[in-house]
Chain A
């Protein structure tokens, strides 16, 4: 009889019993609703052990890659170790570089004490002094100790204010995570990719872009970065250089306000859909302001992209500033 281990305890699974039922029978208050593999409310993460294929049927590729599965339709045939979705692990890190990317965006390089397993485009939570916690997307590639984030100065923001005004190289912080399902996965290298975002939504998109290029993605890649005015655009030289080096990459900076005509103008979803009115078969990543992200996701879906090919990361501002 296989067993499921969860938070330090072991739960036996009877024949034809689902992982969810085994946990419920053992007294775990596991969230659930439909018990048929459709609503997604019972989703968990497999830490160890092989999942039956059915347990991940219909999930997004980026969820599958992280071991996410639906316990209600998981009939384990071997032992499984499972955890709640998300990660509470904490890691120490030092600030090793601070670089002004634009008038209000600061690039911060964190060097972790140990290699953290993440994917570009996921986010980490930065913890300071045990009380202050803010989430930032990862703009750099995995493989070493470094994690780069982009921090926009928020009026009255405690963490962004500290990073912009006070923090210096070698200051210590803590990191929690990584989390998030908005990242590039190899496979399907000819699929066209749309990357669109506003403000520091460029951070995860930049990481995703670097990842896709490193993986040798061959299909067209179209990156749109929107800002209110020119001061909000950053990494322009780096992106222009990349677009010159990789012929399949197109970089479109766009401004909300009227410009001299040298740059695309209008809200980002208008600019995207003017350029790419038909998105059937595309894989899309959208990041930044939640209102814009949700609008973009919907427009991209209506333009023909499959729902499971649309990855979004909406930046929800902290209620505590």
Chain B
């Protein structure tokens, strides 16, 4: 697998500790509902096709949980270029990371795991913002 965002643990992976695909499925609605309701960032996520948006958010969560998604830095750049042209910047990135953390806290994910998720998300910042 070619990915720039693989984080391994000696024992159980972060993805396994959080709960794998079931955790992604549980988190996606909580997270996406927060995103859509947030005036700071909702316009970047207001795709006409909700099913497609949900699939994208699942991909994002799987990656942020350290799961098996093969996105490369180049994928990240092309995937977000349109949003950057719309004005996507650090403040919006921060808001997404904040909502991600609040969603996981709501789902009772332990703080040390949330910190690891935030770190993975953080590692994509330059690619997402096309810098």
Contact = CB atoms under 8 A, between A and B. Distances in A.
Contact of B58 (A38, A60, A301): A38
B59 A38 contact: yes
Nearest to B71: A34
Nearest to B34: A302
B50 A34 contact: no
Interface stretch (B6-14, B25-33, B84-92, B112-120): B25-33
Contacts of A35: 70
B69 A34 contact: yes
B29 A40 contact: no
B21 A307 contact: no
A302 B33 contact: yes
Given A36-B69, A37-B21, A58-B21, A290 B33 contact: no
Contacts of B51: 40, 60, 307
A297 B70 contact: no
A306 interface: yes
A39 interface: yes
Interface in A284-319: 290, 294, 297-298, 301-302, 306-307, 310, 312
Contacts of A97: none
A49 B52 CA distance: 28
B25 A36 contact: no
A31 interface: no
A294 B50 CA distance: 8
Interface in A46-81: 57-58, 60
Interface in B4-51: 21, 24-25, 28-29, 32-33, 36-37, 46, 48-51
A39 B51 CA distance: 10
Interface string B55-75: 110110010000111110000
Given A306-B29, A307-B50, A39 B70 contact: no
A234 to B, nearest CB: 28
A213 B21 CA distance: 35
Tell me whether chain A's interface is mostly helix, strand or loop, or mixed. Answer: loop
Contacts of A58: 21, 24-25, 58
A39 B71 CA distance: 11
A60 B46 CA distance: 21
A236 B46 CA distance: 34
From A36, A40, A57, residue with most partner B Cβ within 10 Å: A36
Contacts of B50: 294, 297-298, 301, 307, 310, 312
A139 B46 CA distance: 30
B103 to A, nearest CB: 14
B54 interface: yes
Contact of A307 (B24, B29, B68): B29
Contacts of B56: 39
A206 to B, nearest CB: 23
A56 B69 CA distance: 17
A20 B52 CA distance: 20
Contacts of B32: 301, 307
A112 to B, nearest CB: 30
Given A37-B21, A57-B21, A306-B29, A290 B48 contact: yes
B23 to A, nearest CB: 12
B59 A301 contact: no
Contacts of A307: 28-29, 32, 50-51, 54
Given A36-B67, A298-B36, 11 more contacts: A34-B70, A36-B62, A36-B68, A37-B21, A39-B59, A294-B49, A301-B33, A301-B36, A302-B37, A307-B51, A307-B54
Interface of A: 34-40, 57-58, 60, 290, 294, 297-298, 301-302, 306-307, 310, 312
26 contacts: A34-B59, A34-B71, A36-B69, A37-B21, A38-B58, A38-B59, A38-B69, A39-B59, A40-B52, A40-B55, A57-B21, A58-B58, A60-B51, A290-B48, A294-B49, A297-B50, A298-B36, A298-B50, A301-B29, A306-B29, A307-B28, A307-B29, A307-B32, A307-B54, A310-B50, A312-B50
